[in-house]
Amino acid sequence: MNSDIEQILITESELQAKIKELGSRIAEDYKDKIPVLIGVLNGAVMFVSDLIRACPIQLNIDFMAVSSYQDSTESSGVVKIIKDLDRNISGRHILIVEDIIDTGLTLSYLLETLQARHPASIKVCALLDKASRRRVNVPIDYLGFQIPDKFVVGYGLDFRDLYRNLPYIGVLKPYLYEGITGDNDI
């Protein structure tokens, strides 16, 4: 285990087993639709790449990059599009793929923005849910795991753009970020 990690919350095999399950459900629900899976960069990069391999149907992928955290590990509520979609999603079935839903502010903004482009439907797939921190109500149609209110890294999730390459979800030792500002979500 990486020495900056206090505890492994979700192991690599637990992640992979859950992703297979989610992939099968999504494949069944969208088998006649050719959905567009939208990965939210950078955090969802590992999740989306494993999820599409677990999803044996015809589908498209696209990516958006948004920044939700300004200067800390706390959500600021300020959401900015850094990279937009490459395609027109009017009339398409959209599945947003997120790493983690925390306050819900990022997802709420994304849903509003994408809804305005008149897709045929929008659903949400999130790997992690920190429900105790929610500030706005958002729907999660496909969920991997509920997690406690701890700052987690690994499997795409970062602190200061580090730890994304860990194959598990771990809790970062708090002394590493206490009193520090400057995490940038992208």
Distance CA 102, CA 130 (A): 5
99 binds, among ligand XMP, Mg ion, none (CB under 5 to 8 A by kind): ligand XMP
Number of other residues whose CB lies within 10 A of the CB of residue 16: 13
By rule CB under 5 A, what count of residues binds Mg ion? 2
Say whether the peptide bond before residue 42 is cis (omega within 30 degrees of 0). yes
Query: Which residue number, 90 or 158, has a Cβ lying nearer to ligand XMP?
Result: 158
170 binds, among Mg ion, ligand XMP, none (CB under 5 to 8 A by kind): none
Residue 16, amino acid: Q
Backbone torsions φ then ψ of 81, nearest 5 degrees: -85, 120
Interaction site with ligand XMP (CB under 6 A): 43, 68, 75, 98-107, 151-153, 157-158, 185
Length of the chain: 186
Least distance to Mg ion, CB of residue 160, Å: 8
Q: What strand order describes the sheet that includes 121-129?
A: 80-83, 60-67, 36-41, 93-101, 121-129, 142-146
Query: Which residue number, 125 or 172, has a Cβ lying nearer to Mg ion?
Result: 172
Does residue number 185 form part of the binding site for Mg ion (CB under 5 A)? yes
Q: What angle do CA 120, 122, 124 make, to 5 degrees?
A: 160
Query: Which residue number, 29 or 73, has a Cβ lying nearer to ligand XMP?
Result: 73
Of residues 106, 119, 158, 166, which one binds Mg ion by CB under 5 A?
A: 158
Query: Which residue number, 39 or 106, has a Cβ lying nearer to ligand XMP?
Result: 106
Distance CA 59, CA 56 (A): 9
Helix segments in 45-167, DSSP class H: 45-53, 105-115
Least distance to Mg ion, CB of residue 67, Å: 9
Asked if 62 and 36 touch (Cβ cutoff 8 Å), the reply is: yes
Residue nearest to Mg ion (CB): 185
Active site residues: 102
152 binds, among ligand XMP, Mg ion, none (CB under 5 to 8 A by kind): ligand XMP
151 binds, among Mg ion, ligand XMP, none (CB under 5 to 8 A by kind): ligand XMP
Binding positions for Mg ion, rule: CB under 5 A: 158, 185
